[in-house]
Structure 1
Amino acid sequence: MHARAAATWEAVRASYWFIPSLMTIGAAVLSVALISFDGRVGAEWIREVPFLYGNRPEGARAVLSTIAGSMIGVAGVTFSITIASVVYASGQYGPRLLANFMDDRGNQVTLGTFIATFLYCLLVLRTIRTAAEGEGAVGEFVPHVAILVGLALAVASVGVLIYFIHHVPESIHVSNLVAGVGRDLLGKVDTLFPERIGEGNATREADGEDPESPLPDGFYDDAQRVAADGAGYVSGIDADAVLRLACEHDLLLRIRHRPGDFVADGDTLVLAWPPDHVTDETRDAIRTAFAWGAKRTARQDVRFLIDELVEIAARALSPGVNDPFTAIACLDWLGAALKDLAGRDFPRPERYDDDGALRVVAHPTTFEQFVGGVFGQLRPYLASDRNAALHALKTIGEVAGRVADERQRVALRHEADAILDGADATLALEADRLSVRQRHTEVTRLLSGRVGFEAMTARTDWIGGTA
């Protein structure tokens, strides 16, 4: 799908109005269909069903009026409760989590159920008439089937209300909130990094060469700029479209930004070479392969989900909150993502066509950058809390048990050393500093290969010292 069309569809699908609007339209269509059906079958059938009772026009109007009035009132209350819970959660855990609540299917379906039931009853209500209100040969009309469906919708709405009362406190519980972001993170890792070590790599290997080495001499001097035609955060890149355009126009493209980066109007999105193959039409086609918006999204940006968990942990470790156990929960999910990433083949920056010609040089995120994004951003907050610092070192040790590449081990060792330095400089009690040093020593032994991961984790103090 076109990058900008895909981004628009993602924003619409995740909006708070889309599903309620579809349900409301469906209710309107259902009311028209059932009223037409009632007009065809008449009212005689209901007398032959023992457990059903026919309604007179006045009674039918009273029933539908009661349901409609109740539904619009309940819809207003549920909307107020939702807004209050969103304000609380975004203020407590971070404003970027607002998107998680907007995308909550439970809240969307709840609002849609009440509004759809209200509109359905309103549309059916207007068709009920007495014999005196009929014109000509047309007598009284009571759509019994439509009224029964309205009663069923009212019963369903009661069930949805019970679900909603349970769902709201569940959704703002910090453990569920952290777990939800963590599961999204693991799912996005599985989507964007599908190749596991040992299962083959769909990208061409570059034999350890520098990512810039395949570019021809003078590339940056002669390449033509493809500038952004708007400002915002890159939410998605249609990589297949970029490669196809490069092949069609015999171009070598150097992508300058990745999903999650901010671009200003006029910033360089892509460098295209050779310059004589670049036309205005080519620039426009390349530009449309990029989508951006006012906020970051998780569609192609794993870093955004990492930053969400980092933000929750940082707020939890702030002096005003002082909740290290929430931070520990965030570290658990971040560690799970890093362990998953450690077992995957990361794509090379280069993309080749079927003939082996270099067509695109991208700007991928490496495992080392993910490690820095987790522990580097949390480092100032970990340094002031013994429990969180110990758990962060434990998480590094667990990730170390999964890595096999020396560069990954160096990145983990750097973060472990930085946490130790911060704790030594910040923690007031010598006993706390000693605990952190001991845990750092254990992690260092793991990273150096002097002790096996299973042998280290079998020791009781590995678990008992994590608070």
Structure 2
Amino acid sequence: MARMRSSLWPVPVLGIVLAIGLGIGLPALDEALARDGANPLIFVFGGGPSAARDLLAAIAGSLISVTGLTFSFTVVALQLSSSQHSPRLLQTFVTDRVVQLTLAQLVATFVYALTVLRTVRSESSTEDESAFVPHLSITVGFALTLISVVALVLFLGHLARSLRVETMYRDVHDEATQTYARELPDRDEEPVPALPHGPDTQLRARSSGFVVDVDPDPVVAAAAECGAVVLLAARIGDSVVEGTPLASAWPAAVGGEVDVDTVEKAVNRAVRLEFERSPNRDIAYSLRKVVDIVVRALSPGTNDPTTAVHGLSHVSALLGELVSRPPRPSAFRDDEGVLRLVVPQWDVATLVRLGVEEPIQFASGQPAVLRRLAGLLREVAWRAPRGAVDEVVEEYLRQVIDLARESTSVPRSETEDWTREVADALAGRWVPTRPEGSVVRG
């Protein structure tokens, strides 16, 4: 189901199927009404067979041309946008419902017009010299054409908004929020039990790709049958190479053995690999997309620090959500309550590193970006549980301060303020910045 939602074709194909059904059903209704001697809807379309053919042919020909031309321009615009920001944003475009519904509307109207066109008969083309014009069907085709024109105008406006970098940030942020709602644990969730001691047995991957999903049932069943405990070596979002360890297994009982072949087959069947990452369960992927845009904005070829600053605000919001609800590994048990499978998850330190490491590398000589990075670290420190991110935040703050002193004219007093503010946030204090000249009342 997740694969279907992330594809462009299902909604348009559904529109084509409905158009064919409608194009067959409505002419049959028209013919049934015509047998009664008078069609109550004949006033809607009063032309003859020739006019009906011309109208339907015009609808079909114009819509298929507009569809091809519109999406050709769209692909060119998206290619330019992806080269400027991030090629991974094309995945967001494919899953956009407005794009899917617009394409479905255009192709469905085209198919409907062709399907109805085959039912129009003139007197000279039939043996009994009886003409047939599906008045109701042609009227519906005309209405669908008007809807298609409106949909095209709305789509062009939507496309113009979608190509703005702020809209891209918003779409990726919304995508991440939905993933966090599904994948991040509740704050009162129990920690994962400890794994068995002793040497482990490596289970190898039998194909390559990115981990996009894990079905625990086959692994739990196989591990219960063999008396084993399995720990996946790859998180959702990690790349896996064929022949390398995909998981580790321990015998549940001391001195026992693991049926490697059985458990290895179950693990490879349970772990779904794809050629690209998916945001459906990968909590780090949307953050990766935002960081890509930030880094591309800081590249010498683009040199757009304002876009980078705005992107770092999204990075701060996403990291704040992640550190306030720290991801935990998922544990799965058999029917008897025995631990059988542990699926690892991204840890907080790795996620913070993902969010700030590369922007720091490209922020040399950019005072506004360095100021925003210092503010980001302060915000993350404030939202994280006490002591959870102290070391990693302090380390990256030192890098930001050193870079500011080496490559910019940011005064030392300001960098000292950054240090004090982050230390206060780590301690659970947020001292407001008072306007210059304000008086503190005793």
The one-letter code matched in structure 2 to 1:72 is I
**How many residues in Structure 1 have an aligned counterpart in Structure 2?**
432
Cα distance change on mapping 1:332 and 1:378 into 2, 3 Å: same
Deviates more, 1:385-394 or 1:246-255: 246-255
Q: What is the distance in 2 between the residues matched to 1:49 and 1:152?
A: 14
Kindly provide the CA deviation profile for residues 82-106 of structure 1, in whole angstroms up to 9, marking residues without a partner as x.
1112111111101111111122221
Aligned partners of 2:44 and 2:136 also within 8 Å: no
Is the aligned partner of 1:246 residue 2:223? Answer: yes
CA RMSD, 1 decimal: 2.4
Q: What is the distance in 2 between the residues matched to 1:63 and 1:402?
A: 63
Aligned partners of 1:254 and 1:360 also within 8 Å: yes
Cα distance change on mapping 1:41 and 1:268 into 2, 3 Å: same
* Residue in structure 2 matching 1:321, options 302, 305, 320: 302
Kindly provide the CA deviation profile for residues 301-330 of structure 1, in whole angstroms up to 9, marking residues without a partner as x.
111111110010001111222212211221
Aligned partners of 1:47 and 1:54 also within 8 Å: no
Cα distance change on mapping 1:355 and 1:10 into 2, 3 Å: closer
The one-letter code matched in structure 2 to 1:364 is Q
Q: What is the distance in 2 between the residues matched to 1:46 and 1:340?
A: 67
Cα distance change on mapping 1:239 and 1:459 into 2, 3 Å: farther
Aligned partners of 2:219 and 2:263 also within 8 Å: no
Q: What is the distance in 1 between the residues matched to 2:33 and 2:42?
A: 18
C-alpha deviation, 1:361, in angstroms: 3.5
Q: Paired residue for 1:265?
A: 242
Cα distance change on mapping 1:156 and 1:398 into 2, 3 Å: same
* Residue in structure 2 matching 1:403, options 373, 384, 399: 384
Cα distance change on mapping 1:66 and 1:46 into 2, 3 Å: farther
Aligned partners of 2:196 and 2:250 also within 8 Å: no
C-alpha deviation, 1:178, in angstroms: 0.7
Q: Paired residue for 1:37?
A: 29
1:84-95 counterparts in 2 under 5 A? 84-95=76-87
Name stretches of at least 5 consecutive residues in structure 2 with no aligned partner: 437-442
Counterpart of 1:382 in 2: which secondary structure?
coil
* Residue in structure 2 matching 1:160, options 145, 151, 154: 151
The one-letter code matched in structure 2 to 1:257 is A
Q: Paired residue for 2:439?
A: none
Cα distance change on mapping 1:353 and 1:110 into 2, 3 Å: same
The one-letter code matched in structure 2 to 1:267 is T
* Residue in structure 1 matching 2:168, options 155, 158, 177: 177
* Residue in structure 1 matching 2:65, options 24, 48, 73: 73
Cα distance change on mapping 1:278 and 1:437 into 2, 3 Å: same
Aligned partners of 2:185 and 2:328 also within 8 Å: no
**Identity value in percent:** 29
Kindly provide the CA deviation profile for residues 373-396 of structure 1, in whole angstroms up to 9, marking residues without a partner as x.
111222112343110111111122
Is the aligned partner of 1:378 residue 2:359? Answer: yes
* Residue in structure 2 matching 1:226, options 199, 203, 208: 203
Please report the TM-score for the alignment, with normalisation by the length of structure 2. 0.90
Q: Paired residue for 2:440?
A: none
C-alpha deviation, 1:47, in angstroms: 5.5
Aligned partners of 1:38 and 1:144 also within 8 Å: yes
Q: Paired residue for 1:446?
A: 425
1:380-395 counterparts in 2 under 5 A? 380-395=361-376
Q: What is the distance in 2 between the residues matched to 1:294 and 1:53?
A: 52
* Residue in structure 2 matching 1:100, options 88, 92, 96: 92
Cα distance change on mapping 1:214 and 1:402 into 2, 3 Å: same
Aligned partners of 1:31 and 1:123 also within 8 Å: yes
Kindly provide the CA deviation profile for residues 53-74 of structure 1, in whole angstroms up to 9, marking residues without a partner as x.
4221011111111111110111
Q: Paired residue for 1:133?
A: 125
The one-letter code matched in structure 2 to 1:17 is W
Q: Paired residue for 1:18?
A: 10
C-alpha deviation, 1:434, in angstroms: 5.0
Cα distance change on mapping 1:417 and 1:15 into 2, 3 Å: same
Is the aligned partner of 1:291 residue 2:282? Answer: no
Q: Paired residue for 1:6?
A: none
C-alpha deviation, 1:349, in angstroms: 6.3
Kindly provide the CA deviation profile for residues 20-60 of structure 1, in whole angstroms up to 9, marking residues without a partner as x.
12211211111111122222221768754585242210111
Cα distance change on mapping 1:86 and 1:147 into 2, 3 Å: same
